[in-house]
Amino acid sequence: MGIIAKHPGHYYLDYQSEPITEWTDLISLEQLEGIIDESYSITIVIFKHSTRCDMSSALLKNFERRYNAEDTIPKPYFLDLIAHRDISNEIELRFDIKHESPQVIFVKDGVVVKHASHREIVEIEFSI
């Protein structure tokens, strides 16, 4: 497995020359409010990732591969749990979803329409 390296606005695998997925970093509670508002016009997916967990890195890689193969895809946001645990806590409170890592959360019209964590991430469908 390649190591994930962060570059401004994108995450790359160490053996890739181009971004796998163009993530938007979720870095503030104010931004989370904007994302919820945005979900009324487009489906959003938030990937909650622990940079200290090998399983999270492997599942992120799998998610990115599958994401790029889809025709209809939601807008992706990336949450670094180590750097932004406060945002993860707010997601847990706002949507009444137990915090887990890694975790993907699909938001449409201000509510969670589906979510998965751990190995369930490889089975989740992107269509809503």
Whether the pLDDT of residue 1 is over 50: the answer is no
* Amino acid identity, position 37: D
Q: 30, exposed or middle or buried, with CB in 10 Å at 0-12, 13-18, 19+?
A: exposed
- pLDDT value at position 4? 46
Rounded Cα distance between 104 and 121, Å, is 7
Mean pLDDT of 103-122: 92
pLDDT band for position 72 (50/70/90)?
Answer: low
Whole-number pLDDT of residue 60: 82
Above 50 in pLDDT, residue 5?
A: no
pLDDT in tens, 24-68: 999 999 999 999 999 999 999 998 988 888 887 887 887 887 776
The residues spanned by each domain of the chain are 25-123
Identify the pLDDT of residue 69: 60
- Cβ-in-10-Å burial (0-12, 13-18, 19+) of 81 comes to buried
- For domain 25-123, give its CATH number from 3.40.30.10, 3.40.50.850, 3.40.640.10, 3.30.200.20: 3.40.30.10
